[in-house]
Amino acid sequence: MKRLYIIVEGQTEQEFVKTLIAPYLQKHEIFEVTPILIRTSKTGRGGFVNYQHLKKDAERLLKSEKKDFIVSMFVDFFRCPEVPHKEKWSVKSSHIGQVEEMERCIKDDIKDVRFIPYIQLHEFEALLFASNEGFNSFFDEIQKEKAQQIINSYDNPEDINTTPEGAPSKRILAIKEDYDKVLEGNLIALEIGFSKIMEKCTRFRAWIEKLIKLCKES
């Protein structure tokens, strides 16, 4: 069974890998799952503001002496820095088309079969709209009702708009202005449950299933 490294842009995603993704993968006998915060400088960690930072981290892992592993990434499409071959992905008419082409361009740029690009459409907070169970635990009655209205508007939370005012995180902040992504994001996700997130977020589920398949290949 291969080990799995997931390059992440922030502490919220790091904790999400530790508390939800890793336990789910353990059920599939994938026991070594390690989130890696993007290295922004010799001492700095976290933040996806420059594609080259992510590329260096990926190549550093892929060039190690260890061979039996997979490297992936978990970053947001919302405010994503420019990745290679803008002439290919920028002309796509839909957000999902852009994301899929960006992933292909990253794959072509890094050139290693062990590397699996993944960009979350539109950002981590989209997963929190998979169910109102999480919001029910931390929001008051009016806030819960507003969250439910957004959930009812989308069959797939990953379709929630990426405009500056319509991104999932901005919608949560509009409902609860003191929302703390790092402290509350994963608590909300835990209340929802990974199975419900997988059920509602089909693109996210496809990524997880692909990782399982590749980690199990001999």
Q: Is 133 helix (H, G, I), strand (E, B) or coil?
A: helix
> Where in the chain does DSSP place strands (E)?
3-8, 33-37, 69-76, 115-116, 119-120
Token representation of residue 119: 């960009």
Report the percent of the chain where pLDDT is more than 70.
97
- Nearest CA to 196 among 116, 139, 136? 136
Q: What is the pTM of this model?
A: 0.94
CA atoms within 13 A on the CB side of 205: 13
- Tell me: the pLDDT tens digits for 182-199? 889 999 999 999 999 999
User: By percentage, how much of the chain surpasses pLDDT 90?
Assistant: 86
Q: Give the residue among 160, 163, 106, 162 at the shortest CA–CA distance from 129.
A: 160
Q: What is the pLDDT of residue 43?
A: 65
**CATH number for the segment(s) 3-122+197-216:** 3.40.50
Residue 42 pLDDT > 80: no
Say which DSSP state 170 is in.
Answer: H
Q: Is residue 65 very low, low, confident or very high in pLDDT (cuts 50, 70, 90)?
A: low
Going from N- to C-terminal start, the domains of the chain cover: 3-122+197-216, 126-192
183 versus 144: the higher-pLDDT residue is 144
- Summarize the confidence of residues 66-85 as an average pLDDT: 92
**Cβ–Cβ under 8 Å, residues 204 and 158:** yes
